[in-house]
Amino acid sequence: MFKSISLAEMMNAIMANVETNTGIQCYNAIPAAPQEPYYYLEIIEKTPLYSKTIRRDSFVVRFHAMPINNQSMAPTYDMLHRLEEALGQEIELPEGFDLFLQQSNGIQKLEIEEFKETRTVAIYNFVVCCTN
């Protein structure tokens, strides 16, 4: 039987990497009253990838770059660059799992009508395999 990494384990590993390598807080929910820039991470898809010899899980993760001053795009672009640099560093997964693939799927702008704002998000794909 192949093991699968949990959503919580994957999210925690990614968040720890981002915080350590950018110096910016990374949350899995939008904070009530943020006092500084932050990233908001959401796993929007998890798909099992089976073969005869290995189990892999593909995760699609969306990172929202949330600067405090949203009047200029410069702070957002700086945050996205820092995120890209951070995700170039090794992500430490729990024992028994290896990061098989880590790939940027690009940057998108999202119009959030509820909040009457535009957010810039980076989307990444991570594939994790079980080594046991």
Q: Which domains does the chain have, with CATH numbers?
A: 7-130 (3.30.2000.30)
Distance (Å, rounded) from C-alpha 86 to C-alpha 60?
Answer: 17
Which pLDDT value is given to residue 116? Answer: 64
Which pLDDT value is given to residue 83? Answer: 95
Rg of the chain on CA atoms, in Å: 16
pLDDT tens digits in sequence order for the chain, 132 residues long: 668 899 999 999 999 999 999 999 999 988 888 778 999 999 999 999 877 778 899 999 999 998 876 667 788 889 999 999 999 998 999 999 999 999 999 988 776 666 666 678 999 999 999 887
Q: What are 103's strand-pairing partners?
A: 125
Strands (E), the chain: 25-27, 38-50, 55-66, 97-112, 117-130
- The answer to whether 123 and 105 have CB atoms below 8 angstroms apart is yes
- The letter for the amino acid at 18 is V
Which pLDDT value is given to residue 126? Answer: 96
